[in-house]
Structure 1
């Protein structure tokens, strides 16, 4: 659009532009001519980059400037050198007439590499002398009538610079922004740009109660109420939830998308605008791994994280079997590839939220964060987050270059967020767009509160809900959509290895639980009371359900939960397997050809078990019988007896193992030492003794009947 302006307008703005250019040239000349003063020798030996790093941190600042707000800033100045710094000054300056003309322009200012001058002094404050490592908080406050603020005659983001100097030497600078609204200015109003802010509501970390797991195993099952608390939110979640609920109540346009399992864990579920897949199960990683059988072996079935189950859990949390709500598949660590989108659609999710890597980087201007992708399972609507705004809202600097010094604090990042959103609106002020900003699962409630307040105070932005965004028009054609879809699954080698290791551990625990239920736990006989048979069947189901629940939590987006839940499944499997054990036996002394070796098997479980017992020696001359089968009563012991056969004297070790009924070994082996003190068998002994007696009799007879020599 071309706007015809008067000659007076052109002359006035031409003079202002000329003034800005002259000011920039003068500033550059002064920088070239500048030489450090002798009094600043204490800082001359300090590397400029290392000294400036972290010296000035913005604690709070006015992000949205109106004709009545004034400008208020609080900062912390820290001596990051190893030398004492003399008393100095912190100066706040801006360029009241500058307008950012490109994305590179605004990015370079944030990174501190831009040559934009800031001739308009807003305020300054004294900074006392600082010892190494010392810091001080300072404030700069300027009312709405301050000359530099009142000089601003156009709305939009303005460059602001904080400069800390001592003895005339600039020690550190921090670049930030302030965005002027159109209030009180003679500038045309343009339509506000739509923006949707989504906050996933999930536990910061799931945990489990080891005592409750012990009760489940030892007592043969627990009540459904207890079983529902196998996985519970972490200790800090209650406090955080209360703070978040206050934010939700104050900012009703903040879109809350809750994990249904987290809602069910609450005593009073928070009102939400939609639900995610249960425990934010990472379906992008699931598709990236591409091995469904691995998940099945770990005890995870597709039905546990599909959209129908998400709705079922949500209804259970409310106690309303007819409740309905939008279901969104939230992105995990991987990318929404075509394979992942197809799987999401097969699981019943027709809308997915892309928190990263689903946005065209080369677009001239930002566009509505909505794309419709056709998959083999049906169309999927992808609501994609705008990267720069979402990163800033999540506490991430836009660049590592030069430290992006103005974005080293929450206040600095929010100031950039406001400035960036205004810049996006100014790029195409009359285009209909709706941008999505996604927050983190662990967002700080205080930061969310400040972000929403800044957005609500920005008249160029209009908050909308997810339903409105979903119904918005999309500007991408089929070719553009195909180009947007990531080809890479996005998982790093480290993430892939960690996932595979978790799945392997879960599979081992699942196998042990299945073995116990089918091959170790004794099958009830026809004489077993029906109530007991029912209790045993229910216990087996609870063991399987508990493992599945913890395995699902281990494969969600929350990495702290992964190790906790994996350890929980391993604990259950260990309690079951180790509950059936061989009682250590004393050494056996054998003084005959055969002997008996009793072995006692204990069962700590509330129901009988039936197992095989094996004995194997390490000697060919001393051996035992090989196998025996025994049924061990609940909370009791049973004994099997192995026969020892000895061919010669010596020693041997008998290794005793437990086997399930399918012949697979389990539990800890026991070793019994066997000692034999007899070289011959019983019949041979009697023959030798008889022969010895006979020789004795013959000897005596010869002694009395032989002829003696004359001299004898």
Structure 2
């Protein structure tokens, strides 16, 4: 049932003479027409480029009988000429009732003909130089005649108009919402609203100290990433304490990385792993090769990690209770970059998630009145409860204007004013229908913004804040076939994001493969390590660790942790984790090096070239050194094997063979036991000045002398011609 209210566009206060009101209305109409305005008006998509713009810095979004009204503004002159001093006028229409979504949206975009004839106040605006900004505020007391003339509650149009030089040079359209407090009339039931905020570590970074320890052989560290900004966690804790109704859906990996406890109402998939993208990519083998298995982001893994986090951040006295409470939290799969398609819902259900949150793309609000954000969808793996966010309110709460031309929504204050007005409008659409809307914040929503939003909701008498449990207990908006019709057919994963994910998977798989290669083809077992230690360089202290396999497992764990966080729905986080994984890989292979060689001079046909290999890994290695020259006149033996203890050096010897004098470059490289090259190579120059200093040279001389004597003998004993 729709609540009908008076639709008269103007309403005259009995406290003002009729003639004066008519004259004022006429003057304001001429003023707002802006005939012959010499300066272009501002729009939302070009607030300061060639136009004068009005930005809302502060606004009383909810007006009660004793609140009064305040608005603070910034006026920017985006033109190339000074703007003369003018007047800012604040006006509304106390009698107007928005009858449709189109009606309220048109006003926000400046496309509505609603006359704003009730002036709330004015303020003088000083002269503004080109490119400069001026601040102005208008304060309206609670006993103002216009504020007192409101007889109905709900959203009202609010027009800001700047006049200068006899013309209107800028406008902005926003809202004030009169609450039910202090008004006579029927009090309709409040509409339920659940506000959920994901708590994830979007500022997470690689823990360099933990990685350094790992490369030194420390296999006891449990995490190789850090939560990042600890002040954010403290602000989140203060926010949740101030607003118990705000529902925190926490990443258990984030909770585990904090030194102090953070209250959560539910847990999501570990590391905010992007399940919707996983389903859209549909390549489980690629994820497994990258080091991420399905067991890493399942509902069971989330519960276990949450219990562990609670134990770590609780006192000994209540650690057990805290862990039990954390393990009992509802596991909720939060939407990623893609939509919750049937395939994605099936994957989530297979991983133990009976509840998912869809923060976009999973409702039909455009075709009817808003509804309870709960939909039950049957999948091949079982029924999944989808908690679907209301698009318009969620977008505003996340800092998105309803359209580019909504000129009052360029700032947080303007968007919050629209949020309040829009929620009131939704309640008025069907005031006696029980509904519970879901609003989802972003993982990187500033706690200050979330605090301002929650304060406004708490002041809104037409809204009742509910928790996730209440929303889950509510009657579903759609089930069965009706619910199937709401499930998106396409994941909506942008091609560039899909490509970025595949590239990330390839990079992560290469890193994990490096660890496997290190284990199988470079490192040697403890027996070989001991032999290398004692036989090749007994002076080097024994730095071996007892459990080589444990260290390899720790390396795989680090790679998997980087990969899990890299596959969340956050581009900046992905880049940091990829960089950390690739750095680990390069440092592992770069820990085995060929020591620098000096230029060699060879004075005979054969010589030897010693090559030293250093191993900075915590375990011994057995590798080959390859040598190839760029000349066929000066060559070396091709390959030599070497076993090097941890933290030590070992030497191999190559044979040089010279055929002629000259120079050549020997290119040295490391090869694993499978013959694949790794690490950085070395080059050295070999110069030869060949001397006759051995038996082969003597033989050559003897032969040359014999041939010379034979020639002389033939010259004296040959038969001469008669003519000679």
Give the TM-score normalised by structure 1: 0.89
Distance in 2 (CA, whole Å) between partners of 1:528 and 1:33 is 92
1:262 alignment counterpart: 254
2:431 alignment counterpart: 429
1:305 alignment counterpart: 297
1:206 alignment counterpart: 204
CA contact (8 A) 2:626 2:640 kept: yes
Matches for 1:20-419 after TM superposition, within 5 Å? 30=30, 35-36=35-36, 44=38, 46=40, 55-217=53-215, 219-221=216-218, 223-224=220-221, 227-228=222-223, 230-234=224-228, 237-319=229-311, 320=320, 321-323=323-325, 324-400=328-404, 402=405, 404-419=406-421
Distance in 1 (CA, whole Å) between partners of 2:584 and 2:172 is 55
Distance in 2 (CA, whole Å) between partners of 1:696 and 1:15 is 131
Distance in 1 (CA, whole Å) between partners of 2:124 and 2:588 is 69
CA contact (8 A) 2:543 2:619 kept: no
**Aligned-partner SS, 2:402:** coil
Q: Deviations over 1:488-543 (max 9, x none)?
A: 22221221222222222222222212211221111222895999563323222221
CA contact (8 A) 2:227 2:258 kept: no
Distance in 2 (CA, whole Å) between partners of 1:196 and 1:202 is 19
Find 1:668's aligned residue among 664, 680, 685. Answer: 680
Moved more, 517-526 or 296-305: 517-526
CA contact (8 A) 1:202 1:258 kept: yes
Distance in 1 (CA, whole Å) between partners of 2:330 and 2:163 is 55
Distance in 1 (CA, whole Å) between partners of 2:206 and 2:357 is 29
Distance in 2 (CA, whole Å) between partners of 1:432 and 1:405 is 33
Q: Deviations over 1:68-102 (max 9, x none)?
A: 21212122222222222222111111000000000
**Aligned-partner SS, 2:168:** strand
Q: Deviations over 1:391-445 (max 9, x none)?
A: 1111110011x2x111111111111111111111111111111100000111111
2:557 alignment counterpart: 545
1:580 correspondence with 2:592 = yes
The 1:23/1:647 distance shift into structure 2, 3 A limit, reads farther
Find 1:599's aligned residue among 590, 611, 621. Answer: 611
CA contact (8 A) 2:41 2:171 kept: no
2:486 alignment counterpart: 484
Q: Deviations over 1:192-212 (max 9, x none)?
A: 111000011122311123344
Q: Deviations over 1:580-637 (max 9, x none)?
A: 1112323333444433222211111222111112222334444332222210112111
Distance in 2 (CA, whole Å) between partners of 1:606 and 1:23 is 90
1:40 alignment counterpart: none
Find 2:453's aligned residue among 448, 451, 454. Answer: 451
The 1:62/1:646 distance shift into structure 2, 3 A limit, reads same
**Aligned-partner SS, 2:407:** helix
**Aligned-partner SS, 2:180:** coil
CA contact (8 A) 1:647 1:681 kept: no
**Aligned-partner SS, 2:367:** coil
Q: Deviations over 1:143-169 (max 9, x none)?
A: 222111111111111111111112331
**Aligned-partner SS, 1:99:** coil
CA contact (8 A) 2:25 2:117 kept: no
Distance in 2 (CA, whole Å) between partners of 1:569 and 1:188 is 63
The 1:343/1:681 distance shift into structure 2, 3 A limit, reads farther
Distance in 2 (CA, whole Å) between partners of 1:54 and 1:342 is 52
Distance in 2 (CA, whole Å) between partners of 1:120 and 1:557 is 47
Distance in 2 (CA, whole Å) between partners of 1:68 and 1:696 is 129
Structure 1 residue 351: Cα displacement? 0.6
Give the TM-score normalised by structure 2: 0.88
CA contact (8 A) 2:191 2:434 kept: yes
Structure 1 residue 216: Cα displacement? 1.9
Unaligned stretches of 5+ residues in structure 2: 13-17, 312-319, 532-541, 715-724
CA contact (8 A) 2:236 2:447 kept: yes
Q: Deviations over 1:458-509 (max 9, x none)?
A: 1111111111111211132433322221122222122122222222222222
Moved more, 415-424 or 161-170: 161-170
**Aligned-partner SS, 1:611:** strand
2:521 alignment counterpart: 519
Structure 1 residue 390: Cα displacement? 0.4
Distance in 2 (CA, whole Å) between partners of 1:606 and 1:164 is 72
RMSD: 3.3
Structure 1 residue 35: Cα displacement? 4.3
Moved more, 131-140 or 283-292: 131-140
The 1:3/1:517 distance shift into structure 2, 3 A limit, reads closer
Distance in 1 (CA, whole Å) between partners of 2:247 and 2:397 is 14
CA contact (8 A) 1:371 1:383 kept: yes
Moved more, 179-188 or 91-100: 179-188
**Aligned-partner SS, 2:217:** coil
CA contact (8 A) 1:81 1:132 kept: yes
Q: Deviations over 1:664-695 (max 9, x none)?
A: 11112222333344499966533332245557
> Aligned residue pairs: how many?
685
The 1:696/1:145 distance shift into structure 2, 3 A limit, reads closer
Moved more, 460-469 or 184-193: 184-193
The 1:35/1:406 distance shift into structure 2, 3 A limit, reads closer
Distance in 1 (CA, whole Å) between partners of 2:495 and 2:628 is 45
Distance in 2 (CA, whole Å) between partners of 1:469 and 1:675 is 83
The 1:13/1:78 distance shift into structure 2, 3 A limit, reads closer
CA contact (8 A) 1:337 1:485 kept: yes
Find 2:498's aligned residue among 493, 496, 499. Answer: 496
CA contact (8 A) 2:268 2:332 kept: yes
